[in-house]
Amino acid sequence: MSRLQRRLLCLTLLVLGCGSRAYPGKTAKLALQAQHAVTAASVRVLPGEAALSIRQNGNTIFVELDLSSPLRQLRIEIPEMCPVFIDVGRLKPGETVLHPLVDLLDFGPERAQEGYGQPFQIVVEPGCQKAARGRIEWKRLEGEAPAEWLIADRGFALSGRLPSMRAAHGDGVPWGIVPISPRTRGQLRLHATFRDDKGVVALERTLSVSAAARSTGIPNVSVGKRVYLGGKGWTVRARPEDSDAAVMDGDLAASITPDRAGRFVLGDAQDKELVLMVGALDTTPLDCGRTDCHPTISSGISKSAMTSTWKRLFVPGTAARDILTAHGGAAGDDLHCAEACHTVGEPGLEDGGYRFTASALRHLGVADRGWDTLPSALRRQAGVGCLACHGPSAIPEPTARWPIFRSDVCATCHDAPPTYGHSAAWRSTRMARSDRNERARTDASCVNCHTGWAAVSMASRPPAHVEPFGIGCATCHDVHPEGGATAGLLRALALPKLLQALPAATLGESTVCLSCHTPTEQRNQPPQATAASIWLGRGGLDPVSGGPLESVSPHDKVPGGCVGCHSGSGGRGGNHSFAVPSSACVGCHASPPRTRAVAERARVLWDRIAEAAQLAPRSNTEPVHASITLPGRSHGLDQNTPLGRAGWNVLLVLEDPAADRHNGLYADRLLQSAEAVLNGRKGKL
Amino acid sequence: MNRIAVVAVGHLLFVGTACPSSTPRDFPLQHSEATAPAFVCGPQRCVQDYPRTPDDSDWSCAGMAGSVVCLGGTQAAGVAAASANPRWRCGDVVSRPRGEHRVCVDLEPDFPPGGAPAWKCHFQNELPMRRICDRSADHHVLGDACSATSPCVDGADCQGGRCVAPSGNPFCWVDGDCEKNAVCRFGGCLLRKVNP
C-alpha cells in the first residue's frame, strides 16, 4: 500500500471512526526496555487506537500494537522518560521489537563520599531534545548552604564545596574508626524540579551529595568505603597481597579506602592496632542461623520490625508506608529516599548492598510490585539485616567487638534530625555520659549499669584507651531477642527482687529501666539509683520492726510507666531525651506539682543521723551517687538498729533527686520514719 | 514464540505525517513476576549475575541436563520471609539432619536466547552467585526427543517421545545421599545400571 493510499484510507476511516479494528489478528509487540525499573504509573499512547494492551514486566513495558490499524506513527509517553516515536508501518506481524527507553534526565551516580571540604559538581545530561529545552530549579532540603554554591546552564550544572570534617564533627573524633551518621557525613539533600519548554513540571528528583559514607565505627567495612581514623600517626602494617591502600592524612582524622577484601592491620603512633575486616555485602553469607552458631537469634530476628522495614514499605496502609509518604516518598513510587536506612549498604558505593545489587539487576526504584517479586539477591539486602549493623566480611576478633555497643551503630540511621532525632535526644541525657567517671567504667560493682558493654556482654570490655561511650541503644533495645521480638525491641530484663511482687501491667515498658533504677536489697550497702523504689512505694524499712515500709504509688497507673512521664519532646525520636515535659503533669494536675523541699529536709535529717551514728567525715570528690557523696561514711550504718534503718530510708529519698515528684507521699513517709527515730519516738509508724 | 529483533532506535524514528489523531489513551500498568536477571553475552558464553535461587538463603547450585539443582537449608538470617516460589520443587535430603539440608530443583530455569538445547550452564557458587552458560550443540537436556533407540539422560523418563524429569520432590544432592547401588539425578536416587 502506497503512502497516498494509506492516507486516503485513513481519511475514510476518520469518517467511519478512526481506530476501528479493520484487520484483526495482525499484531506486533514493542518491548520498551529501561535501564532501571520504570516507576511510571501509566503509559500514554498517542493515538490510542493503535495499542491493544500494555503490560509491564520488570524494566520492560510491552505494548501490543494492532498492525491492521491505518495509523502509521505512534508516540508513546512515559513519565520521566524521553518520548518514543514508532513507525508502525515498519513492524511485521508477530514480531517483538526491543526498544530502549532513555531517561529524560541523567543526574549521574549517587555522590556518597566526595570528601570533607572538597568541591563537588553535578552536571545533568538531557536524554533528548525535550529535556534539553527545559530548565531545572534546585532547592536545598537539608544541610548547610555550601560554600562556592553556583547554579549555571539553566540549572543543568550545579557546584559547591562540602563542609570540612571539623564543621561536621566538631573539634574531636574518637580513637579508631570514626563513626559517621547522616548528621555528621556533611550531607546536602537537594530537590530538583525540571520544567519543560512549556513550563510544565515533567520530573522531580531528590538527590544527595555527601562528604563521607556513613560508618558504624565497627571494624567490618566494605571494599571501597573510605574509613576515617581518629588518633595520630596511622600506618598500614599489613594488607591483602594485591592491595595498594594507604593512609591519607587529614585535618581532623586520617583516612584509608580499603581496595581489596581481606584483613588490614593498621597501627597508630602509640603502637595501638586496629584490624579492619574488609569485604562486600553480597559476598558475605547470611548463614548466621546455623545450628552451631546463632539459631535462636536468627529465628527471633525474622519477626523483627528491623528485618521487615523494607518489606512493610510495599504494603499500602502500613505505618511504615505512611511515614515514607509523609517524608516525601513521591506518593510511594520512588523509594530511593528510604533505601539508605531501610536496606543494607550505602547508596552510591559499590559495596554489594541493596542499591548496588538493584542497579546490577536493573531493578531500581521499585515499589508497587510486592515483596515476593523482588529477586532473592535483593531481598537478602532489603531490610535492616545482620550486615546493616555488623558489616560485611568475617567476624571481628574478640578484642575488636566492643564498638557494636556504641550508639553510633544505630546512629547511622537514627541520627538524622529532624527525621530521626533519637541519637540527638539521647546525647542530651546523663546516660550518654554515664561512664565518664573512671570508677564508673572500671569498678565491677558499677559497670553493669554504667557502661553499654557490660550491660550486655562482660566479654566485650573495650581497651583502656577507648573514649567512654555511655549507656547506649543496645542496653535497652535488643534488636535480635532470642525469645522473639518485643514491642519497641525493648530488652526483656528480669525484674529486680524488690519489685517482683508487682503486677506486670504496672511496670509495662518501664521494665527495661528498673534493673538499674531500683536499689538492690544488699542492706550492708547504701541504696543507689532509687527512683523506681520511690515511684512504686517500695524499699523502705520500718525503723522499729525492720519490716518493709511501703506506700501507695499515685503514679503507678501512668500508661507506659517511666516513659509515660519521661516522654521527651520534639520530633521523631525526641522521646529519647527522657526529659519530662511540663505537659506530662497537666493531664492530671491543674498545675505542675509544687516542690516539697524534700531533698533539703532529707539532707538535714542525714546530718543528724550521721552525727548520731558518729560517722566519720569523707570527701565529696566523686560526682557519683548522692548516698556516697554525702558527709559521713554511710557504710558505717548498722541496719540492725532503728537509727541505721532510719538512715537507709533517708538515703532512699536523697538518692532520688525527683523523689517529691515520683511519689511525694512515700518520700514524706520515709522521712517521717527517720524523724520519729531521731525525735525519740517509739512504736510502729 | 515471537521472534525477537533488536532494532536500532534510528530505524524506528517517526517520519512523515501522523494520521489525524483521535484522543490519546492512558494505560495503567499491570505488573507481573519479576523478570529473570539478565544474561550478559559474548559469542560463546553468557553470564547471569545473581541467578534465581529457591529462596533467599545461601545455596550451592549445579546445572543438570537443562535443569538446576540446588542445595541449601539454613534460613537466611535477618531477611523477611517471602512466599515459596512455585517454580522450585524442594525436599529435605533424607540422609542428612532434617531441616539443615534442603535440595530444590528448577526444571525450567532461565537460559540465554536459544534455550536449554543451545547452552550448557554451570554455577559459580561463591557469593555473589553467578551462572555461566557456554554454547553447546552436543549435550542432552530435559525436553529432548526420545525413543527406544534414543534414550534420555540418566534419571529422566521418556514420556510421549520427550525426556522428562521424574515427578515428586527431590531428596538427594550427591550420589552419597543414595543407597550404595544408586546415583542421584534430578534430586532423586536412581539405581545404577548393571552391565551384563
CA distance linking residue A65 with residue A50, whole number of Å: 6
- Per-position b or e across A405-414, b if 16+ CB within 10 A of its CB: bbbbbbbbbb
pLDDT band at residue B15 using 50, 70 and 90 as cut-offs: very low
For residue A516, pLDDT over 50 is answered with yes
The C-alpha of B125 sits at a distance from chain A's nearest C-alpha, in angstroms, of 10
Decide: A73 and B14 in contact? Cβ < 8 Å.
Answer: yes
Nearest to A282 by CA among B50, B72, B56, B127: B127
What's the pLDDT at A314?
74
For residue A445, pLDDT over 90 is answered with no
The C-alpha of A330 sits at a distance from chain B's nearest C-alpha, in angstroms, of 17
Task: Fill in the amino acid letter for A202.
Answer: A
For residue B14, pLDDT over 80 is answered with no
Beta strand A273-279 with A220-222 is: parallel
For residue A525, pLDDT over 70 is answered with yes
What's the pLDDT at A13?
37
**Which residues is A122 bridged to in the sheet?**
A158
Decide: A565 and A556 in contact? Cβ < 8 Å.
Answer: no
| Maximum mean pLDDT: which of A63-72, A358-367, B152-161 | B152-161
Peptide bond into B151 cis (omega under 30): no
What's the pLDDT at B10?
29
User: How do residues A598-634 score in pLDDT, each as one tens digit?
Assistant: 989 998 998 888 888 887 666 554 545 766 666 555 5
Please tell me the total number of residues recorded for chain B in this structure: 196
Average pLDDT over residues A483-508: 83
User: How do residues A39-80 score in pLDDT, each as one tens digit?
Assistant: 556 788 888 777 888 887 767 788 888 888 777 788 999 888
Taking the Cβ of residue A285 and every Cβ of chain B, the question of whether any pair is shorter than 8 Å is answered with yes
First to last CA, chain B: 45
How many other C-beta atoms can be found within 10 angstroms of the C-beta atom of residue A2?
A: 7
Q: Nearest by CB to A375, from B23, B32, B50: name it.
A: B50
Count Cα atoms within 13 angstroms, Cβ side, for B36: 17
Least reliable range by pLDDT among A343-347, A670-674, A676-680: A676-680
Average pLDDT over residues B23-45: 67
Q: To the nearest whole number, what is the mean pLDDT of chain B?
A: 82
Say how many CB pairs under 8 Å bridge A and B.
230
User: How do residues A142-189 score in pLDDT, each as one tens digit?
Assistant: 888 999 999 999 999 999 999 999 999 998 899 999 999 999 999 999
Least reliable range by pLDDT among A13-22, A355-364, A448-457, A556-565: A13-22
Decide: A472 and A478 in contact? Cβ < 8 Å.
Answer: no
User: How do residues A101-120 score in pLDDT, each as one tens digit?
Assistant: 999 999 998 899 999 999 99
Higher model confidence: residue A98 or residue A190?
A: A190
8 Å CB contact of B80 and A379: yes
Which residues in chain A have their CB less than 8 angstroms from residue B5's CB? 95-98
92-111 of A, contacting B, C-beta below 8 A: 94-100
What's the pLDDT at A327?
55
Decide: A137 and A192 in contact? Cβ < 8 Å.
Answer: yes
Share of chain A above pLDDT 90, in %: 54
pLDDT band at residue A322 using 50, 70 and 90 as cut-offs: low
8 Å CB contact of B16 and A46: no
User: How big, in percent rounded to 5, are the helix, strand and coil portions of chain A?
Assistant: 30, 20, 50
Share of chain A above pLDDT 70, in %: 86
What's the pLDDT at A6?
47
Report pTM: 0.87
**Which residues is A205 bridged to in the sheet?**
A192
Higher model confidence: residue A435 or residue A54?
A: A435
CA A446 from chain centre, in angstroms, equals 29
Task: Fill in the amino acid letter for B62.
Answer: A
Q: To the nearest whole number, what is the mean pLDDT of chain A?
A: 86
Which residues in chain A have their CB less than 8 angstroms from residue B80's CB? 302, 307-308, 310-311, 371, 379, 382-383
For residue A11, pLDDT over 60 is answered with no
Q: What is the largest CA-CA distance in chain A?
A: 122
What's the pLDDT at B30?
45
Task: Fill in the amino acid letter for A42.
Answer: S
Substitution target in B19, B75, B98, B130 with the highest count of A β-carbons within 10 Å is B19
Higher model confidence: residue A89 or residue A24?
A: A89
Which residues in chain B have their CB less than 8 angstroms from residue A285's CB? 58, 127
Taking the Cβ of residue A292 and every Cβ of chain B, the question of whether any pair is shorter than 8 Å is answered with no
8 Å CB contact of A87 and B52: no
The C-alpha of A445 sits at a distance from chain B's nearest C-alpha, in angstroms, of 35
Substitution target in B27, B52, B53, B87 with the highest count of A β-carbons within 10 Å is B27
Which residues in chain A have their CB less than 8 angstroms from residue B55's CB? 376
For residue B3, pLDDT over 60 is answered with no
What's the pLDDT at A142?
87
The C-alpha of B101 sits at a distance from chain A's nearest C-alpha, in angstroms, of 11
What's the pLDDT at A12?
39
For residue A4, pLDDT over 50 is answered with no
Decide: A203 and A136 in contact? Cβ < 8 Å.
Answer: no
For residue A533, pLDDT over 90 is answered with yes
Substitution target in B1, B29, B88 with the highest count of A β-carbons within 10 Å is B29
Higher model confidence: residue A110 or residue A37?
A: A110
Q: Nearest by CB to B5, from A87, A97, A383: name it.
A: A97
Higher model confidence: residue A627 or residue A15?
A: A627
pLDDT band at residue B117 using 50, 70 and 90 as cut-offs: very high
The C-alpha of A241 sits at a distance from chain B's nearest C-alpha, in angstroms, of 20
8 Å CB contact of A286 and B82: no
8 Å CB contact of B29 and A55: yes
Higher model confidence: residue A434 or residue A90?
A: A434
Which residues in chain A have their CB less than 8 angstroms from residue B12's CB? 85-87, 90, 97, 99
Higher model confidence: residue A21 or residue A681?
A: A681
Search chain B and give the residue with CA nearest A27.
B2
Which residues in chain A have their CB less than 8 angstroms from residue B7's CB? 97-99
pLDDT band at residue A23 using 50, 70 and 90 as cut-offs: very low
Average pLDDT over residues A445-462: 90
Nearest to A411 by CA among A612, A180, A633: A180
For residue A19, pLDDT over 60 is answered with no
Average pLDDT over residues A31-44: 74
Which residues in chain A have their CB less than 8 angstroms from residue B19's CB? 7, 10, 14, 18, 47, 70-73
What's the pLDDT at A619?
56
Q: How large is the ipTM? A: 0.83
What's the pLDDT at A38?
67
Return the C-alpha torsion angle B175, B179, B180, B183, nearest 10: -30
Nearest to A412 by CA among A282, A141, A220: A220
What's the pLDDT at A339?
86
What's the pLDDT at A259?
97
Higher model confidence: residue A7 or residue A659?
A: A659
Which residues in chain B have their CB less than 8 angstroms from residue A72's CB? 16, 18-19
User: How do residues B67-114 score in pLDDT, each as one tens digit?
Assistant: 999 999 888 999 999 988 889 999 999 888 777 799 999 999 999 988
CA distance linking residue A389 with residue A384, whole number of Å: 8
Q: Is A458 helix (H, G, I), strand (E, B) or coil?
A: helix
Nearest to A412 by CA among A444, A389, A396, A432: A389
Beta strand A157-161 with A147-152 is: antiparallel
8 Å CB contact of B100 and A357: no
For residue A3, pLDDT over 80 is answered with no
Average pLDDT over residues A254-269: 97
For residue B29, pLDDT over 60 is answered with no
8 Å CB contact of A54 and B29: yes
User: How big, in percent rounded to 5, are the helix, strand and coil portions of chain B?
Assistant: 5, 35, 60
Nearest to A528 by CA among A432, A443, A616: A443
Which residues in chain B have their CB less than 8 angstroms from residue A373's CB? 31, 33-34
